[in-house]
Amino acid sequence: MEPIVEFLEVIKKRRSIRAFENRKVEDDKLMDVLSAGRAAPTSYNNQEFKIVAVRDKIRIGQLFHACNEQDFVKEAPVVLVCCGTNPEQEMMCGQPSYTIDVSVVATHMMLRATDLGLGTCWLGSFNEKKIKQILDIPDNIRVVTVLPLGYPRFQLAEKSRKPLEELVCFDKYKA
């Protein structure tokens, strides 16, 4: 079986984009990114997530404030707010399902965005309560991440990564 080099290249090319062009994301590309999220595996295949795709500039401006005034948030033509809809559910291993499920969904969307020439940045620095107020998200829903989405203003160089030997061990854990 031949390896699919293109996919590995997409993974290596993905960067946290913090500067966007003043350019609309085409509807078909946005739907493609959202479809990649929908295709992500989730715990028990329950698909207990919701993505709020924000294109309204006024709401994006409000999200900018809720995301600790990170300038690139207000530059983005789309902001994807990724939510877990069943925060009480746990996996058999004891981990909360929603954080893992939404993380996988967001990763699928980030990789597809990269493949389409778009950029994203995973945000964990935000005020969840403010975001819920801005977007009418119910109290029982959890916001896991916010992904500004758009065309990168410039391409970033490849980041250094630790060697595999520092990150992977075989057959048993080794420090």
Give residue-wise pLDDT tens across range 26-43.
999 999 999 999 999 999
Name the token pair of 123: 């945000």
Task: Please report the domains of the chain, with CATH numbers, ordered by start residue.
Answer: 5-167 (3.40.109.10)
- Of the listed ranges 36-40, 42-46, 57-61, the one predicted with least confidence: 42-46
Q: In whole angstroms, give the CA distance from residue 153 to residue 121.
A: 13
User: Whole-model pTM?
Assistant: 0.95
Residue range 99-121, pLDDT digits in tens: 999 999 999 999 999 999 999 99
- CA-closest candidate to residue 26, choices 117, 92, 105: 117
Q: What is the mean pLDDT of the chain?
A: 95
Residue 58 vs residues 99, 129, 170: alpha-carbon distances, Å: 28, 18, 51
Residue 144 vs residues 27, 98, 140: alpha-carbon distances, Å: 24, 8, 13
What residues contact residue 83 under an 8 Å CB cut-off, 6+ apart?
49, 50, 51, 52, 102, 137, 141, 142, 143, 144
Q: In whole angstroms, give the CA distance from residue 96 to residue 45.
A: 14
